[in-house]
Amino acid sequence: MSAGDFDDSLLEQTRLSERADDLLRSLASAGSRVRREAQGSADEPLAAGFEAGLRPRGVIAVGPEARLIRALLEPVCPVPFMAWPHPGLPAWVGALDLVVVLAPSGSDPALVASVAEAVRRGAAVVVAAQPGSAIAERAGSRTTLLLPVTTGDALACVVQVLSVLHQLGLGPLVVPEQVADAADLVAEESSPHRDLTTNPAKELAVALADAQPLVWGGTVLAARASRRVAEAIRRSSGRAALAADASELLPVIEGVRERDVFADPLEDGEETRPVLVVLDDPAGDAQVRQERSQLLAAAQAHDVRVCVVEAGSEMTQTSSMETYVTLLQKGLFGAAWLGIGLGAF
């Protein structure tokens, strides 16, 4: 089946292909992976040097999702924080600093080198890695806290690290069980056993069936989730999907031509029009709300369909990590069902 042939009847099949079933099971088990990694950390007591109350000069994070760690820590971290995307470490990192290394899968040579450099300089190191891996072996020192990783899941690894950083007084409160519950709730409402009328992920897939997705998240975390969702849509559909700031999406929406009511879809083909997917974070400030209003007004003026993915209301007491996981998982499930409807899985 080509990328242009969406069959919504495929969304209602009780028996899915092996690839589709594996994909949905992997998404649905996100909460379970978070719990497993958190339990592994809970079973490992903090090293003595960390229990005393670590207050480094600065914190630097390296590895997959280091920028997600930064987005969550920057508003509350009592010391300067940096996400470092390059091999090695900045020249200023030394014995007064904390290096956080995320290596959920394998032993990337660049991360191995970063860990070795941090240990050589005498920095405090928090490493989330597989036991017995090259990174875990090179991290061994009296100033290293090793968090065992067994699932290879980057999101579960982030939750694990954030939980420990909170214990050290460097980050916000993150309760792994609550984050896992948030992922489970999305999995439940996106289940194959729910039909189109009660399954938001399938509804999103239908909305994106013949569209050019424009994905927007106003807050830092929602914007990060939007990029992950756009990546998933591209993988599932083989089509272009744009995740960008409001200032970059507005010209695209405003440039949409008026719909031709006399066009013959049999002769001219189906017109591919944008669909605006809004990842709605209730924690957005006045500027975010203003940008949201501008996007929705432009979409209405130019006959662009809008799909709002909600993380909860302002009255709902959820952490930033729970909000991020909810938005991300809803988008990923929508992308998965889009691929299923297109016959890609």
CB 164 within 8 A of CB 174: no
pLDDT in tens, the chain (345 residues): 445 588 888 998 878 899 999 999 999 999 999 999 888 665 555 654 565 556 889 999 998 889 999 999 888 889 999 998 888 899 999 999 999 999 887 778 888 889 999 999 999 999 998 888 888 888 888 888 888 888 889 999 999 999 889 888 888 889 999 999 999 999 999 999 999 989 999 999 999 998 999 999 999 999 999 999 999 999 999 999 999 999 999 999 999 887 765 565 555 555 678 999 999 999 889 999 999 999 999 999 999 999 999 987 554 557 899 999 999 999 999 999 999 999 888
Q: What is the predicted pLDDT for the residue at 64?
A: 82
In a shared domain, residues 120 and 160: yes
In what order do the strands lie in the sheet containing 211-217? 242-243, 211-217, 273-280, 305-310
In a shared domain, residues 234 and 108: no
CB 174 within 8 A of CB 166: yes
In a shared domain, residues 125 and 225: no
CB 155 within 8 A of CB 325: yes
CA distance 320 to 313: 13
Residue 102 lies in a domain: yes
| Number of domains within the chain | 2
In a shared domain, residues 155 and 130: yes
Looking at 134, 149, 175, the residue that finishes a domain is 175
In a shared domain, residues 263 and 331: yes
Residue 21 lies in a domain: no
Identify the sign of the CA torsion 297, 298, 301, 307.
Answer: negative
Q: What is the predicted pLDDT for the residue at 4?
A: 57
Full domain range(s) for residue 63: 32-175
Considering the entire predicted model, what is its pTM? 0.89
CB 287 within 8 A of CB 324: no
Strand partners, 98: 59, 124
Q: What is the predicted pLDDT for the residue at 5?
A: 83
Strand partners, 307: 277
Residue 183 lies in a domain: no
Residue 182 lies in a domain: no
In a shared domain, residues 207 and 323: yes
Q: What CATH number does the domain containing 217 carry?
A: 3.40.50.10490
In a shared domain, residues 208 and 171: no
Residue 236 lies in a domain: yes
Residue 143 lies in a domain: yes
Q: What is the predicted pLDDT for the residue at 118?
A: 92
> Which runs of consecutive H residues, i.e. helices, occur in the chain?
18-28, 30-42, 48-51, 66-73, 109-120, 134-138, 154-167, 176-189, 200-207, 220-237, 246-254, 265-268, 286-301, 320-341
In a shared domain, residues 228 and 101: no
In a shared domain, residues 208 and 238: yes
Residue 105 lies in a domain: yes
CA distance 335 to 96: 44
